[in-house]
Structure 1
Amino acid sequence: MVMTARARHPLSADVRGRPALPPMTPVALPWTRRALDVVVALVLLVVLTPLMLLLAVLIRATSGRPVLFRQQRIGEGAREFTLYKFRTMRTGATGSALTNGRDSRVTGTGRLLRRFHLDELPQLINVLRGDMTLVGPRPESVDLAVRFPPEYQWLFRHRPGLTGPCQLRSRAHAALLDDRPDREEYYFAVLVPLRAELDAELLSRNSLTTVMGYIVRTLWYVLSGLWDRGGSGPCSDRPGDADTRHTEEGRSLCARS
């Protein structure tokens, strides 16, 4: 029986000897959602290919290889998959599994890509492959997922999304980690319960209309990077609001975004 430093529940170990999540029954994605995923991902990949090639050249010229960042994430039914992103951190950088708003490991080009979420464009390939869906819970890294409290592990039954309520708060959540002496403790104590609450609301009304609404809001959120310096743009939480997350006011703010 393996125990992680922060987890308070037993975990099994996989063939590599690292902690693993317990087996979970996946929540199947409706065929209509899958069809929408394929159509939208194909169209966006065709339209955005010139931009993606330009970004690849920019990354290669400013910070070398590799251009793509690959990481194991937890997918539907707690199965692992390889997530693709444009690399935004320095090669060989080590440190916390969580990135804050002022992380010194992020390159100058990486900050630009992160600000407008351009680093996430390769995830359209994950959507096309069926690893991810357009709108769903945030895809969690394996190292963090195995340390989730048991009451929130139900999230990993669902297919993770390219966008969603938590993804639309990414700038604000990163800023909330800036001055925390222990980022991971704060993440599991405050942000994980908040994200589970937001994702539960999404999944309870995850219709095609909801999906299309999130796609529109995501476009607006990306554009808000032009003026949003502190995570106070549309569909985001402001630094300093963390302690009111679970008040009635805090929940109503989350529900509107």
Structure 2
Amino acid sequence: MLKRIFDFVTASTLLIILAPIILLTAMMVRIKLGSPIVFRQKRPGLHGVPFYVYKFRTMTDEKDSLGQLLTDQLRLTAFGAFMRKYSLDELLQLINVIKGELSLIGPRPLLMDYLPLYTEEQARRHLVKPGITGWAQINGRNATSWEERFERDVWYVENQSFRLDMKILLLTVKKVIRSEGVSNAGHATMPIFLGTTSSREG
């Protein structure tokens, strides 16, 4: 209950404080990328229950000769990369926090397609509400392997506390300012998760 109250009050306060930046970002997305401004995607929440996460759009809708979308890396614009570098595209997720779908701190909600690919241990990341930032984000962010990321997510599930959340929140500000670990080598963010070796062989 304490965490939910803290999430609601903090997210509401941040939305008010950051309103000018959010409005400016929305205007720039409209100018640079056109409509839609907001990118909405279904993600797994607590216990894998789906919800729609909100982000500012960072990529174009460019397609190849067969009508298939180009890779994320090719569609990511310079302005989109700038937004991701400073996490401006994530600001709208404060709305998800206010709605109770996200927490400020928790494992990042990934794609619905990944759900059947997790090992039993990795799936434990869904035992808590997902967050805007988390233990994995301040320990490598996207510049790590999926296995390392999931290990850190599960570690958070097993060790979560209000004190740990405050530590993660403060370190997140530091990481964003330094724009560390924004992407994995050769990718816009991270490569597609195909399952761990053991789960694929099983």
> What TM-score comes out, normalization by structure 1 length?
0.65
The aligned residue for residue 83 of structure 1 is 53
The aligned residue for residue 171 of structure 2 is 217
Distance 2:136 2:121 in 1: 18
Residue 37, structure 1, aligned to residue 15, structure 2: no
Cα separation, partners in 2 of 1:202 and 1:40, compared to 1, 3 Å: same
Distance 1:80 1:68 in 2: 18
- How far has the Cα of 1:147 moved from its partner? 2.4
Percent identity at matched positions?
A: 34
Distance 1:117 1:237 in 2: 12
Residue 172, structure 1, aligned to residue 143, structure 2: yes
Which amino acid is the alignment partner of residue 141 of structure 2?
S
Which amino acid is the alignment partner of residue 137 of structure 1?
P
The aligned residue for residue 114 of structure 1 is 84
Which amino acid is the alignment partner of residue 42 of structure 1?
S
Q: Deviations over 1:160-215 (max 9, x none)?
A: 01101223333424xxxxxxxxxxxxxxxx51x21221112222221111111111
Q: Deviations over 1:67-98 (max 9, x none)?
A: 111000000011000000000011256256xx
Distance 2:160 2:120 in 1: 23
Q: Secondary structure at the match of 1:127?
A: helix
Distance 2:121 2:162 in 1: 28
Distance 1:53 1:33 in 2: 28
Root-mean-square deviation (Å): 2.1
Q: Deviations over 1:82-117 (max 9, x none)?
A: 000000011256256xx5xxx111011101001111
Residue 138, structure 1, aligned to residue 108, structure 2: yes
Pairwise mapping of residues 209-248 of structure 1 onto structure 2 (< 5 A)? 209-225=163-179, 228=180, 231=181
Cα separation, partners in 2 of 1:58 and 1:238, compared to 1, 3 Å: closer
Cα separation, partners in 2 of 1:119 and 1:237, compared to 1, 3 Å: closer
Cα separation, partners in 2 of 1:153 and 1:111, compared to 1, 3 Å: same
Distance 1:141 1:237 in 2: 17
CA contact (8 A) 2:43 2:109 kept: yes
The aligned residue for residue 128 of structure 1 is 98
- How far has the Cα of 1:238 moved from its partner? 8.9
Residue 67, structure 1, aligned to residue 21, structure 2: no
The aligned residue for residue 156 of structure 2 is 202
Distance 1:87 1:238 in 2: 20
CA contact (8 A) 2:62 2:70 kept: no
> What TM-score comes out, normalization by structure 2 length?
0.81
Mean Cα displacement is larger for which, 205-214 or 195-204? 195-204
Q: Deviations over 1:123-182 (max 9, x none)?
A: 000111110101111111112223223442222232101101223333424xxxxxxxxx
Structure 2: give runs of 5+ residues left out of the alignment.
Answer: 64-68, 186-202
Cα separation, partners in 2 of 1:62 and 1:95, compared to 1, 3 Å: closer
Q: Secondary structure at the match of 1:71?
A: strand
Larger Rg: 1
Structure 1: give runs of 5+ residues left out of the alignment.
Answer: 1-30, 174-189, 240-257
